[in-house]
Amino acid sequence: METIYSSLKVNNEYELCSVYSEEAKNLLEQALLKARISYYMNYPRRRLFDRHKFNCVFCVNENSLAEAEDIVYDIFGEEDPDIKMISRKNPVDYL
């Protein structure tokens, strides 16, 4: 039996940015919550020669990607070493 939702693709998350410090993570988290933007954080596995001790990737829905990018640029600017903009489709496919 197939429902109307069977053919619906649900993976519409975009990787917004990679954050390299706890303070920047907390600032961005509070700003996204204040703007009522749904997000989740992904903690990638650390590699052997990784420069950063902390790494967290913020992912948001594609409908709120532009607003979330504006928030990141308002808080951190263009050239902040604690944050790296990604803005790409999440490579994980759930279906």
Angle at CA 33, nearest 5°, toward 32 and 36?
90
Domain 20-88 CATH assignment equals 3.30.450: no
- Kindly tell me if the per-residue pLDDT of 18 is higher than 90: yes
Summarize pLDDT for 37-58 with one digit per residue, the tens. 999 999 988 888 888 889 999 9
- Kindly tell me if the per-residue pLDDT of 3 is higher than 80: no
What ranges do the domains of the chain cover? 20-88
- Half-sphere exposure of 20 toward its Cβ, with a 13 Å CA cutoff? 11
Question: What stretch of H or E contains 15?
Answer: strand 13-19
Angle at CA 66, nearest 5°, toward 65 and 72?
90
Other C-beta atoms lying within 10 Å of the C-beta of residue 10: 8
pLDDT tier for residue 8 given thresholds of 50, 70 and 90: low
- Kindly tell me if the per-residue pLDDT of 85 is higher than 60: yes
pLDDT tier for residue 70 given thresholds of 50, 70 and 90: very high
Q: What is the mean pLDDT of the chain?
A: 87
